[in-house]
A and B are shown apart, each in its own frame.
Chain A
């Protein structure tokens, strides 16, 4: 298969007219859900139910239902938190950073990736809150004037986390919503159902596609992208501070912030590709979410995968170079200790398999890329597992070493988190336009005035 990389590939294929774009994108919303959709929804909501039952058990009997105990005090709860926060990062990267870099191809995948960001952050946010054991007291995490006269400790990385994750969620939600407003207006003018029209009218806020509005809208969108770009980099950096500011060997390293951000983008793109492979097929959007888009995302997966690989290597180098006995032990223990199986799963899934993306055939083959991105998802989950569990289980004092074994409740909650995420994704795919209608129209062939290349006339 020959691909010409010397010219930019068309963002929208098949020479679609604007009305056709409208029809393709709004069709999944207007049609009744099919059998396959209902099957997928019932599977994901069953997972969600299993997770909900396990969370209920945890709340009733306490966090003792989980496998974590001394010395591994942080286990699945925090592994899942970091994993899901990471998944979210691809969405913001696509919607903000690629927007600032004027990557037009982002329009096809941005809306879906942003939605995944929001759902992933929602899923992630649950974990630290459940981990506290009494989530109904989560309000204590925010600084508010209380009867104890106490304030949260603004020096603590855990409080930074609260600020970072809640800001990230709020800004992502606003960014997503502001992008949806024109699409709600389009849907409002398209629908014939009175109930739908009322709902769309409420959410579109009476948007009129007025150019006097578009002018500010575009500016505001750029500002939000500008704000989100450092935000997305800060969020996983701050998550990494939870570990890096401690003195535990294996956690106490300065490489963590960039390493975590690269890993987050890596895993996030893998998840986006995993989901989009199905979406473009099921909803007949192969002309809008094209193979070129997937290929570009695979290239990013390849690049970030190598960054992560570099970080793995550098951790070993620094452990040796620092001359700290404990640090050296942790890394030897990681690779050859009782959790070596997790370490080598991580290395092979994250570093070795993505190398196949050097081959154009594999990069452009949907089944091949699907297998690789699933492996990347698995590998990135194990990366967090390795960082947390293998560092904690054997620290300074051999007398306090121990092993971590997950319980059924642990596994049930992990399954439930996937259930929650995919249930939300499925509901989103059927209720909102999965691709931004107005943005796709703006990059469709022939949609811009022909003097477009001549701005200084």
Chain B
């Protein structure tokens, strides 16, 4: 066993690949376990000479590669068919063929990263810059053109003299003992380095703050906040009146807003004719508008029975003989102009809506004052056999 606690091991240097293969074989045969061979490049046949088992890196790659495959397929399934399903190009939500490129890339990416990180961190236990072999003549020689073997003091069979004898017998050119390094000092904890770290933290934090709060609000990073376009209601120097918005030419009439020619007149006119036919579509439209604008006073069925009944001069029923005898033009005139307490609905309704409302009122009037002939009409419509 090792009597010198500080001893790391004994190193020996050889000049050729043949010698080192022979030495490795002999050391292995002598029963040493904790020994290593250091060569500037991988020497063929050395793994067998040292009695090493096959490398298991492949399993590492396989596991992480397939993890990548599984992850990206699940991810594609979840994003494209569960979380935000969207039909794209008529494909099914989970369109496997078009996910293959991404699946392949992710498999390779994860497998590759796992292989590299795996060998470095797990198989090699790197980084290890404070290994006892570093900064020795031995390491400089095997880095360059020599072939070295090191038998570690940790080996159960280790005996400094025996080991030296064995290596000498194998024809080693140089034999050295390597000591474990003394107490480690960590330069990371030196004052200068700590100050440097604090500075780095400050610069990174300040830079991040500055970027997120200042730079992103400067052109061109500002999400196009500033644009050379005219904004309505804003000032602009392009026109002499310094307005961004243009005023219309005098007398311009917007489409559908032809002024009402009988405004303010009390004489009912019959010159206005209803342009709409009482089709189902028009009646549905008129019903909606009637319920919105007329029913609050006149009631849902034009009976003048809304909940305003009794609070104002009562809104009249539209089923009175007078109202039934009004021409369409007269009702239109009342809606546009207002009558007694009723205000004008010119701004709330369009001309088309007014005519539709009138058609609906006509339908209500007829329904409330139905004659027997009307019933027959309805039955005829429904195809019921009338006796």
Residues of chain A at the chain B interface (Cβ within 8 Å):
17-19, 22, 59-60, 62, 134, 136, 143, 149-151, 153-156, 159-160, 163-164, 166-167, 170-171, 174-175, 177-178, 181-182, 185-186, 188-190, 201-202, 205-220, 223-224, 227-228, 230-231, 234, 238, 241, 437-439, 441-442, 446-452, 455
Residue pair A160, B220 in contact (C-beta under 8 Å): no
Residue pair A438, B131 in contact (C-beta under 8 Å): no
Question: What are 22 of the A-B contact pairs (CB < 8 Å)?
Answer: A18-B145, A59-B220, A154-B79, A155-B98, A167-B106, A174-B112, A174-B113, A175-B112, A178-B120, A190-B144, A202-B129, A206-B131, A208-B36, A209-B39, A213-B124, A215-B52, A215-B55, A217-B42, A217-B124, A227-B61, A438-B40, A451-B45
For the complex, give the distance between the alpha carbons of A442 and B101 in Å. 37
A214 (CB) vs chain B CBs: closest residue = B42
Residue pair A164, B44 in contact (C-beta under 8 Å): no
Contacts A18-B145, A219-B55 given: A155-B88 contact, CB under 8 Å? yes
Residues of chain B at the chain A interface (Cβ within 8 Å):
16-18, 21, 24, 36-47, 50, 52, 55, 57-58, 61, 65, 75-76, 79-80, 83-84, 86, 88-89, 91, 95, 98-99, 101-102, 104-106, 108-109, 111-113, 115-116, 118-120, 123-124, 126-131, 133-134, 139-140, 142-145, 219-221
B128 (CB) vs chain A CBs: closest residue = A206
Residue pair B37, A167 in contact (C-beta under 8 Å): no
Residue pair B140, A189 in contact (C-beta under 8 Å): yes
Selected contact of A136 from candidates B104, B128, B221, CB within 8 Å: B221
A148 (CB) vs chain B CBs: closest residue = B84
Selected contact of A167 from candidates B79, B98, B108, CB within 8 Å: B108
Contacts A438-B40, A439-B41, A441-B41 given: A174-B17 contact, CB under 8 Å? no
Residues of B within 8 A of A209 (CB): 38-40, 139, 142-143
Residues of B within 8 A of A174 (CB): 112-113, 116
Selected contact of B101 from candidates A215, A218, A238, A447, CB within 8 Å: A238
Residues of A within 8 A of B86 (CB): 153
Question: What's the count of A-B pairs with C-beta under 8 Å?
Answer: 217
For the complex, give the distance between the alpha carbons of A155 and B93 in Å. 10
Residues of B within 8 A of A166 (CB): 109
Distance of A22 from chain B, by nearest CB (Å): 6
Residue pair A448, B44 in contact (C-beta under 8 Å): yes
Told that A190-B140, A202-B129, A455-B45 touch, could you supply 11 new A-B pairs with CB distance under 8 A?
A18-B40, A134-B221, A154-B80, A163-B101, A210-B36, A214-B42, A217-B124, A223-B58, A238-B105, A448-B17, A455-B44
A-B pairs, 4 with minimum CB distance: A18-B145, A189-B143, A442-B41, A151-B79
Residue pair B76, A154 in contact (C-beta under 8 Å): yes
Residues of B within 8 A of A136 (CB): 221
Q: Please report whether the interface of chain A is mostly helix, strand, loop or mixed according to DSSP.
A: helix
Distance of B274 from chain A, by nearest CB (Å): 47
Residue pair B88, A22 in contact (C-beta under 8 Å): no
Residues of A within 8 A of B76 (CB): 154
Residue pair B145, A19 in contact (C-beta under 8 Å): yes
Residue pair B143, A447 in contact (C-beta under 8 Å): no
A188 (CB) vs chain B CBs: closest residue = B143
A187 (CB) vs chain B CBs: closest residue = B143
Residue pair A210, B220 in contact (C-beta under 8 Å): no
For the complex, give the distance between the alpha carbons of A228 and B61 in Å. 13
For the complex, give the distance between the alpha carbons of A123 and B235 in Å. 45
Distance of A99 from chain B, by nearest CB (Å): 13
For the complex, give the distance between the alpha carbons of A58 and B61 in Å. 43
Residue pair B44, A452 in contact (C-beta under 8 Å): yes
